[in-house]
């Protein structure tokens, strides 16, 4: 083995063991930022259970195709004294309209982040999301139309966050730490969900202003506090960070796996003719359908089918996302272990992780469809379905950076834009299917559709995906490619890419 490479790898190990660096501070604040913004995204899923006025008659054994209530005499009416009389399609509209705005800013955000940096875009997006979250209770009490408009604006503000973060990760995270730190940052979304769902349930029970407005006030305020830390501690890249050590800066810049660009526009033709890009695109769309079906509708399912109260609903709805957060971090460590030991190609790692994150949820959803009124079995299978999906954070979720680190923000903007059509389409379709919210048969169809989409999308990903810089190889005229020595050096760090 080349002595210089051995010495270089020893130097890498020495630097990575030096403890908490500025890239770790970036990862921590990125994690907390995504956690905060997801708290503001999912809080409505629980709050709406308390906001909507609903009455249902308790049956001792349940009517045909529905589950019995766990307590209460037959014939007793169970009422939630919410402020708003919204039917199923209206609730689906309220939950889904966020994504109208969310998808509209994805592509512009990716382009802006690549040209001007992602720090201000990411921070500003969360700042505005916090402001719109704080005014949500006022908006919904003024009118449904005003509420929908605020939700759309909230989506537009939050829509810039993921493209901006992908651009920042491409500038801050060395390729040999990409699975670990990248998955840690992205798992902030699940951590935020884990915190938001039970906390929202508890806040809804507080006897102040009907409880549910506190959900929006608390989470909106937390976003403003986070913004203060982000704005003062983070820069667009290590090159212009005032507190980073020279050793860490050199280590990051030497191991980004990026090439300098020449002046010119985005290589749109190379992007849209790249099969690995389309593999990510299809995987992202399929994943989002299943993910958002459960994210937006799980509290409703817990209430209407399994009849959990608002407090239990919040905690049990959070359990799958706690498992998802754990799986995302564990799978990233496993992925980087195999990557560092050069036992497995990066492409194989991406395909394996993505398969665990989609095939297992699909099978678990099919099982959940047949558990009927067995609440324990249903919660177990839904926890497996959502939890195992965390493996995708070492799959397609970081594959944008693998195939084109210089355009990672733009690629994320493209795939996330169209994938989030599922964000408003899935809840709306669920609202159309579940005309009787307590019907087990109707919810079975919801689970079957999600499972089928998981299977088809990941099969496409398995056939056409790659972790090599295929897209950038197709647009050499937009890059100053370095010498063969760079690629030999990169392959010794990352492992051979097939």
Query: At residue 472, does pLDDT exceed 60?
Result: no
SS3 content of the chain, % helix, strand, coil (to 5): 75, 0, 25
pLDDT of residue 77: 46
Do residues 190 and 111 touch, judged by C-beta distance below 8 A? no
Q: Among 118-127, 349-358, 378-387, 460-469, whose mean pLDDT is lowest?
A: 460-469
Residue with more model confidence, 56 or 181: 181
pLDDT of residue 220: 95
pLDDT of residue 488: 34
pLDDT of residue 230: 94
pLDDT band with cut points at 50, 70 and 90 for residue 6: low
Q: Among 25-39, 111-125, 232-246, 306-320, whose mean pLDDT is lowest?
A: 306-320
Q: How many CB atoms lie within 10 A of CB 381?
A: 23
pLDDT band with cut points at 50, 70 and 90 for residue 75: very low
User: Which residues, at least 6 apart from 200, have a Cβ–Cβ distance to it below 8 Å?
Assistant: 42, 43, 45, 46, 47, 215, 314
Do residues 67 and 414 touch, judged by C-beta distance below 8 A? no
pLDDT band with cut points at 50, 70 and 90 for residue 317: confident
Do residues 465 and 396 touch, judged by C-beta distance below 8 A? yes
pLDDT of residue 74: 43
Residues 421-456: pLDDT tens digits? 887 788 778 878 887 666 788 888 999 999 999 999
Do residues 410 and 111 touch, judged by C-beta distance below 8 A? yes
pLDDT of residue 10: 57
**Averaged pLDDT score across all residues of the chain:** 80
pLDDT band with cut points at 50, 70 and 90 for residue 362: very high
Residues 152-194: pLDDT tens digits? 999 999 999 988 998 888 888 887 777 678 878 988 888 898 8
Q: Among 78-92, 178-192, 462-476, whose mean pLDDT is lowest?
A: 462-476
Residue with more model confidence, 219 or 52: 219
| Separation in Å, CA 388 to CA 7, 362, 400, 456 | 38, 10, 21, 17
| Separation in Å, CA 283 to CA 116, 188, 304, 453, 455 | 29, 21, 31, 10, 10
Segment 449-478 mean pLDDT: 77
pLDDT band with cut points at 50, 70 and 90 for residue 311: low
> Alpha helices of 52-135 — where are they, by DSSP H?
88-96, 98-104, 106-116, 119-134
Residue with more model confidence, 142 or 75: 142
């Amino acid at each position: 083995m080349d002595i210089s490479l051995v010495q270089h790898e020893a130097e890498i190990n020495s630097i990575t063991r030096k403890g908490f660096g500025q890239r770790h501070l970036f990862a921590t604040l990125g994690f907390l930022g995504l956690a905060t913004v997801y708290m503001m995204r999912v809080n409505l899923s629980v709050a709406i259970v308390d906001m909507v006025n609903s009455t249902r008659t308790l049956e001792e054994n349940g009517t045909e195709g529905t589950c019995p209530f766990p307590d209460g005499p037959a014939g007793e009416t169970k009422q939630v004294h919410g402020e708003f009389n919204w039917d199923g399609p209206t609730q689906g509209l309220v939950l889904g309209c966020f994504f109208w705005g969310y998808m509209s800013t994805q592509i512009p955000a990716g382009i802006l982040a690549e040209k001007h940096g992602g720090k201000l875009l990411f921070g500003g997006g969360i700042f505005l999301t916090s402001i719109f979250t704080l005014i949500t209770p006022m908006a919904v009490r003024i009118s449904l139309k005003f509420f929908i408009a605020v939700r759309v604006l909230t989506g537009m503000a939050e829509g810039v966050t993921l493209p901006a973060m992908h651009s920042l990760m491409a500038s801050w995270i060395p390729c040999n730490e990409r699975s670990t730190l990248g998955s840690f940052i992205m798992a902030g979304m699940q951590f935020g969900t884990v915190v938001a769902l039970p906390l929202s349930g508890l806040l809804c029970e507080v006897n102040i202003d009907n409880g549910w407005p506190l959900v929006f006030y608390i989470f909106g305020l937390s976003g403003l506090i986070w913004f203060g830390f982000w704005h003062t501690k983070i820069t667009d890249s290590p090159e212009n960070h005032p507190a980073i050590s020279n050793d860490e800066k050199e280590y990051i810049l030497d191991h980004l796996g990026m090439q300098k660009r020449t002046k010119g526009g985005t290589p749109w033709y190379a992007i849209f003719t790249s099969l690995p890009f389309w593999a990510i695109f299809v995987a992202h769309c399929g994943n989002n359908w299943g993910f958002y079906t459960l994210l937006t509708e799980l509290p409703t399912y817990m209430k209407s089918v399994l009849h959990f109260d608002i407090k239990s609903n919040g905690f049990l709805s959070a359990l799958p996302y706690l498992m998802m957060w754990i799986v995302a971090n564990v799978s990233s460590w496993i992925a980087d272990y195999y990557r560092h030991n050069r036992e497995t190609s990066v492409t194989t790692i991406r395909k394996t992780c993505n398969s665990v994150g989609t095939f297992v949820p699909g099978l678990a959803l099919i099982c959940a469809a047949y558990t009927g009124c067995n609440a324990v079995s249903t919660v177990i299978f839904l926890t497996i379905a959502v939890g195992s999906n965390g493996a995708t954070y070492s799959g397609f979720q970081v594959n944008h950076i693998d195939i084109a680190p210089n355009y990672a923000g733009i690629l994320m903007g493209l795939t996330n834009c169209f994938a989030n059509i599922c964000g408003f389409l899935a809840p709306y379709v669920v609202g159309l299917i579940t005309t009787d919210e307590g019907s087990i048969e109707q919810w079975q169809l919801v689970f079957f559709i999600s499972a089928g989409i998981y299977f088809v999308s990941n099969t496409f990903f398995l056939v056409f995906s790659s972790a090599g810089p295929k897209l950038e190889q197709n647009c050499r005229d937009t890059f100053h490619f370095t010498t063969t020595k760079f690629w030999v050096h990169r392959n010794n760090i990352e492992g051979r890419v097939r």
